[in-house]
A and B are shown apart, each in its own frame.
Chain A
Amino acid sequence: MSKNYYLPQSNEIELFEAAVEMNLPILIKGPTGCGKTRFIESMGEKLGRDVYTVVCHDDLSAADLVGRHLINEEGTYWQDGPLTKAVRNGGICYIDEIIEARKDTTVVLHSLADYRRVLPIDRTGETIEAHPDFMLVVSYNPGYQNVLKGMKPSTKQRFISLSFDYPKPEIEKEVLIKESGIDETTAQKLVDIASEIRQLDDTDIQEAVSTRLLIYAGKLIVKGFDPYQACIHSIVESLSDEKEVLEVLEKLIALHFEKRV
C-alpha cells in the first residue's frame, strides 16, 4: 500500500504524467491546504522519484537552492543545494510558495525550465545538464495580492499550469474518512460546514477553510473530542481573529453539531 493517499480531483494525474514524459516543468496554483504538496508526494511515489522540497521565504537566496561552500578541517568544500541534487541525481524538485522568494532568486530556474535543461553554477564555474529523471515543480497560492511580490511573467511562462481548488464535496468527504477515520455522517457535516464557509469571500475572511483543517477536526473527533469543540478549535479559531466573524462561525458550527451545555 502506498504511503501517501491521494484522490484525484480531475485530470491532474494524466497531465502530470504527460508532462513527465515530455520533460516539461509544472506550476501548481491553489489555496492553502487543498492538497498541492500531497499530490506531488504521491506522484513522486508513483513514479519512483525522490522529491526535494524547498519552501520559499523572503530571505531565500539563490545559494539556498543551488548550494554553497562549506568548511571542514581540510578547508572549504562545495555542498549541493536541493535543486542541484535533483538536477544531478534525477528526482522532482518541488519549490513551494515560490511567490514568497525574491524575484531575482527564482531567475536561476529559467535555464532549467525551458528546452535547455541546464543549471549553471557561478561559484564553481560548473554547468550541469539535468538528469533525464529531473523534473521541476513550483507552486504558489494566488490568494495573496501583493504589490511587491508576484511571479515575473518570464518565470511564469515557462510552466504548464495546473490550477487546484478545494476538492468537490464527495471527494472531500472520502478524503476526510480515509485520513481521519471518522464516520460518514460526521464527515458529511464537516464537508457541509466547509462548503458554507467557502461561500464567504476575502473581505470577510482571508482564506476559506482548507481540507487540512477539516482533517484536523476529524482527527480530534475520532479521538473522542466533543464535535462542537473540535470544530471551534480546529476550524473557527484558525480562520479569523475578528469577534463578529468568530461569533457567526460558532453559530454555524452549533447548527451542525449542537453545543453541549
Chain B
Amino acid sequence: MIHYWLEFEESIGKVWDKYLNKKVDKFHEEQRVYFSDISKSLNLFHRLMGGEKGKDLQITDKRYIQTNRTLLEKISFLGQEFYLTWQDEESLYLPASFAYFPTKEKNEMLYYWLVAMATQVKDNDFKQNQLATDSLTSRYSGFNTFYEYATTYLIQRYKQLSFVKSLDENLINNYPNPLWIYDSPITLYKANNSEDEPQEPTREESKDKTDELQMKKQTKQIDDKHETDGFLAFLPESLMSIFEQVNVDRCEDDSFDEDALYHAEDLDEITIGQKQANLSARIKMDLELLPDTTVIYPLGKGHYIDEWDYLKSDYLVKYVRILPQIMTNVVPIELPLRLKKTVRKIQNELDLLQLNRIKNDHLPYGDEINMDSWIEYCSHQNKSMHHQNFYTTFEKKTRDMSTLILADISLSTEGGITQEVRIIDVIKDSLMVFSEALEKLQDKFAIYTFSSLQNKKVYFNIIKNFKEPYSNLIRGRVEAIKPQYYTRMGSAIRESTKILDKQQSSNKLLLIISDGKPNDEDRYDGRYGIEDTKKALEEAKRKGITPFCITVDMDAKEYLGYLFGRDGYAVVRDGQKLPKVLTDVYINLTK
C-alpha cells in the first residue's frame, strides 16, 4: 500500500515539475551536451592546456544561490540552484551537461572554455577570472569568437549577467556566470554562513541521473544529512543470504612498532561515504545465483623464500611461504565477443610490423644468395681454407623471447574505473587480448596472478605456464579470476624470477600488471614493501630479466620511478584502454 502511494506521489510531482520547468526554462534541450560523452577529450584537452596532470575532471553537485527571481522561478526552485564550475587542489568540477546555447557545438565549446579557464585561474576570484578571460581571448582567436558570442547571448537571456560586459564589480554577486570558475562550495558556504538547509529539489532530468549518482559529493558540507530520506519497503532480513564466516588468526600478526605508523599513514586516504543524489535512486542488489563450480587446487604445501628487510639491511631467510595454486573445474570459453574487435585490430597491426622476419646469414643453403659472402670468398687468396656458405634466409618465429605476465589480483582491483567496469575486468580483458597477440607473434609466454595474506600465505596462481598451449581452457581460467587479499609484490616477483630463469631464451621479460603500491596486512606496506619489491627487481635484473610494470594507478609516478627506473614503467590513465596499451607497450619494447 505504502509502495503505491509513494509511486503516485512521485508521478504527480513529475508532472508538476515538467510543467513548471517548461514555463521558466531557457535551455535548449535538444542541443544539450553531456560531460560523460566528451570527458575523455576534455581530460586530454586539460593536459594540452598545461593543467596539472594529477588533476581529475569530475561532475559538480548543484549549489544554492540567492538571486532575484520571478514568482514562477521561485515556485519551481529554478534560478536558485546552479551547477557552477569550480576547482580545488585535486579536481576540476564541471556541470554534468550544458544547454545554454542553441547549438551543440557551442555548448560543447563551453566545456572546452571552462577547462582552459581552470588551467589559468588560481584563486577562483573575479580578478583572476577576468585575467584568464583576457589571456585566453587574446591567445586563441577561436576562444575570442566564442566568448564574444557567448557573453552577448547570455546577457540577452539573463539580464542580471550584464556585469560580464560592464565589469561592474558591485554586481558580480547578482547572478552566477557560467563562463567563470568559482570557488569550492565549502568556502562559499562558510562565507555566506547560511543556516538554511537546502531543500531537496524535485526536479527530474532523466539523462542526468546516472551522472549525478556518480558525482562527487561535498562530504564536509552535506555529510549524508538525509539519513532518513529513504526507507526500505521490505525487510532486508527476509532476503535469503549466505554469510561466509572467516576465522582470523591474529596471533601471528607482526607486532612491530612501525605498524602503527604505517596504518596511520593510510588513515589519510580513507574516503568518507557518498550519498545518493536522487530521490528516485533505487536499491540494487546483486544476487549471484549461479553456483560457482571452480575449485582452487593447491599444488603442494608451498615453499619458503626470503624477503628483504630494509631496516635490518638483510634478508629474512625463508620468511615468506609461497602457495602455488591452480583452478580446476574451469569452463573453457571462446574469446568473448566484446574483445573480438580489439583483437582483430591488434592482429592487423602485427601483420604490418613483420616482426618475425629475421635474417640469417652465412648458411650453406637458403632462400637467397648473399653476394657479400660470395665476393668475400672470391677476394680470399686461399679459397680452400674459406667456407662456402653463401646463403641467406629470412626465418620466421625466431624471436628469442620469453615473457612472464604477473597480474596483481588483490582486492583493490575490485575498485571501479566507472560504475560498471572494475579494474579486475580490465585486467582480465587485457590478459585475453594480450595472449592473442603473443600467440600471433608465437612468442613464449606464461601468465601468473598473485595475492597475499601476510607472509605465510602468498598465493601464486597459475593461469598458463610456459609449456601449456594457449587454449579455451586458459581463457576460462582468466575469466574465472577473482580478486582477493593483498599485494605482496616482492615475493611474487621472486617466484616469477625463478620460473623465468629456467627459460632458455636470450631475452626475458617480466611484465607486471598492477593497480597500486605493494602492500599487505602486516608491516608490508609503505617503505617496507617498496624496498622489498625493489630488491626483488634487482635480483631479477641480475639474472638478465627485464622487468616492466604497467599500472592503472593514477598518482603512481613517484614510487614507480624509484622501483622500475625512468623507462621501466607505463601508467595507463584510461583504464579501459589497458588491453590495447599493454600490447602496444609490448610491441614497442620488443620490436
> What residues make up the interface of A, taking CB atoms closer than 8 Å to B?
59, 63, 68-71, 75-76, 78, 123, 144-148, 192, 196-197, 199-204, 244-245, 247-249, 251-252, 254-258
Chain A nearest Cβ from B288, distance in angstroms: 35
**A8 to B423 alpha-carbon distance, docked (Å):** 48
B282: interface (CB < 8 Å):
no
Q: A68 — which chain B residues lie within 8 A by C-beta?
A: 372, 375-376
Known: A145-B589, A146-B588, A146-B590. A247 touches B376 (CB 8 A): no
Q: Which of B217-225, B234-242, B434-442, B568-576 contacts A (4 or more CB under 8 A)?
A: B568-576
Known: A69-B376, A251-B112. A147 touches B507 (CB 8 A): yes
Q: B509 — which chain A residues lie within 8 A by C-beta?
A: 147
Q: Judging by beta carbons under 8 Å apart, are B41 and A146 in contact?
A: no
Q: Judging by beta carbons under 8 Å apart, are B45 and A251 in contact?
A: yes
**A1 to B143 alpha-carbon distance, docked (Å):** 43
B residues 36-55 near A (Cβ < 8 Å) are 40-41, 44-45, 47-50, 53
**A69 to B359 alpha-carbon distance, docked (Å):** 21
Q: Judging by beta carbons under 8 Å apart, are B141 and A258 in contact?
A: yes
- 22 CB contacts below 8 A, A to B, read A59-B359, A68-B376, A69-B378, A75-B379, A76-B375, A123-B379, A145-B567, A146-B588, A147-B507, A147-B548, A196-B49, A196-B50, A204-B47, A244-B40, A245-B44, A248-B48, A252-B45, A255-B142, A256-B140, A257-B141, A258-B142, A258-B145
Q: Judging by beta carbons under 8 Å apart, are B47 and A199 in contact?
A: yes
Per-residue CB proximity of B550-591 to A under 8 Å, as 1/0? 000000000000000001001111000000010000001111
**A145 to B548 alpha-carbon distance, docked (Å):** 11
Q: Select which of A147, A196, A258 is within 8 A of B48 by beta carbon.
A: A196
**A192 to B50 alpha-carbon distance, docked (Å):** 12
B546: interface (CB < 8 Å):
yes
B139: interface (CB < 8 Å):
yes
Chain B nearest Cβ from A102, distance in angstroms: 11
Q: B48 — which chain A residues lie within 8 A by C-beta?
A: 196-197, 199-200, 248-249, 252
Q: B140 — which chain A residues lie within 8 A by C-beta?
A: 255-256
Q: A69 — which chain B residues lie within 8 A by C-beta?
A: 372, 375-376, 378-379
B residues 305-364 near A (Cβ < 8 Å) are 359
Q: Judging by beta carbons under 8 Å apart, are A256 and B141 in contact?
A: yes
Q: Judging by beta carbons under 8 Å apart, are A147 and B50 in contact?
A: no
> What residues make up the interface of B, taking CB atoms closer than 8 Å to A?
40-41, 44-45, 47-50, 53, 112, 139-143, 145, 359, 372, 375-376, 378-379, 507, 509, 546, 548, 567, 570-573, 581, 588-591
**A254 to B589 alpha-carbon distance, docked (Å):** 35
Determine the residue in chain B with the shortest Cβ distance to A63.
Answer: B372
Q: Judging by beta carbons under 8 Å apart, are A203 and B573 in contact?
A: yes
Q: Judging by beta carbons under 8 Å apart, are A200 and B378 in contact?
A: no
Chain A nearest Cβ from B307, distance in angstroms: 27
Chain A nearest Cβ from B242, distance in angstroms: 43
Determine the residue in chain A with the shortest Cβ distance to B376.
Answer: A69
Additional A-B contacts beyond A147-B509, A196-B50, A199-B50 (12; CB < 8 A): A59-B359, A69-B372, A75-B379, A123-B379, A147-B546, A148-B589, A200-B48, A203-B572, A245-B44, A252-B45, A255-B142, A258-B142
Q: Judging by beta carbons under 8 Å apart, are B571 and A247 in contact?
A: no
Q: Judging by beta carbons under 8 Å apart, are B590 and A200 in contact?
A: no
Residue among B44, B139, B546 with most chain A CB within 10 A: B44
Chain A nearest Cβ from B556, distance in angstroms: 12
Q: Judging by beta carbons under 8 Å apart, are A244 and B44 in contact?
A: yes
Q: Which 3 A-B pairs have the closest CB atoms?
A: A255-B142, A76-B379, A255-B140
Q: Judging by beta carbons under 8 Å apart, are A71 and B375 in contact?
A: yes
Chain A nearest Cβ from B211, distance in angstroms: 20
Q: B49 — which chain A residues lie within 8 A by C-beta?
A: 196, 199
Known: A59-B359, A148-B507, A148-B590. A248 touches B44 (CB 8 A): yes
Q: B372 — which chain A residues lie within 8 A by C-beta?
A: 63, 68-69
Q: A251 — which chain B residues lie within 8 A by C-beta?
A: 41, 45, 112
Q: A202 — which chain B residues lie within 8 A by C-beta?
A: 570
Q: Judging by beta carbons under 8 Å apart, are B590 and A248 in contact?
A: no
Determine the residue in chain B with the shortest Cβ distance to A206.
Answer: B588
Determine the residue in chain B with the shortest Cβ distance to A75.
Answer: B378
Residue among A68, A144, A199 with most chain B CB within 10 A: A199
**A70 to B378 alpha-carbon distance, docked (Å):** 10
Q: Select which of B142, B571, B581, B591 is within 8 A of A146 by beta carbon.
A: B591
**A174 to B370 alpha-carbon distance, docked (Å):** 50
**A120 to B61 alpha-carbon distance, docked (Å):** 74
Determine the residue in chain A with the shortest Cβ distance to B585.
Answer: A145
Known: A199-B49, A244-B40, A255-B143. A147 touches B590 (CB 8 A): yes
**A78 to B380 alpha-carbon distance, docked (Å):** 12
Q: A204 — which chain B residues lie within 8 A by C-beta?
A: 44, 47
Determine the residue in chain B with the shortest Cβ distance to A200.
Answer: B47
**A244 to B34 alpha-carbon distance, docked (Å):** 16
Q: Judging by beta carbons under 8 Å apart, are A248 and B570 in contact?
A: no
Chain B nearest Cβ from A74, distance in angstroms: 11
Q: B572 — which chain A residues lie within 8 A by C-beta?
A: 203
Known: A63-B372, A255-B141, A258-B142. A248 touches B41 (CB 8 A): yes
Determine the residue in chain A with the shortest Cβ distance to B371.
Answer: A71
**A204 to B45 alpha-carbon distance, docked (Å):** 11
Q: B375 — which chain A residues lie within 8 A by C-beta?
A: 68-71, 76
**A70 to B44 alpha-carbon distance, docked (Å):** 55
**A65 to B214 alpha-carbon distance, docked (Å):** 61
Chain A nearest Cβ from B105, distance in angstroms: 11
Determine the residue in chain B with the shortest Cβ distance to A76.
Answer: B379
Determine the residue in chain A with the shortest Cβ distance to B109.
Answer: A251
Known: A203-B571, A255-B142, A258-B141. A123 touches B45 (CB 8 A): no
Q: A148 — which chain B residues lie within 8 A by C-beta?
A: 507, 589-591
Chain A nearest Cβ from B543, distance in angstroms: 14
**A258 to B144 alpha-carbon distance, docked (Å):** 10
Chain A nearest Cβ from B92, distance in angstroms: 16
Q: B145 — which chain A residues lie within 8 A by C-beta?
A: 258
Q: A247 — which chain B residues lie within 8 A by C-beta?
A: 41
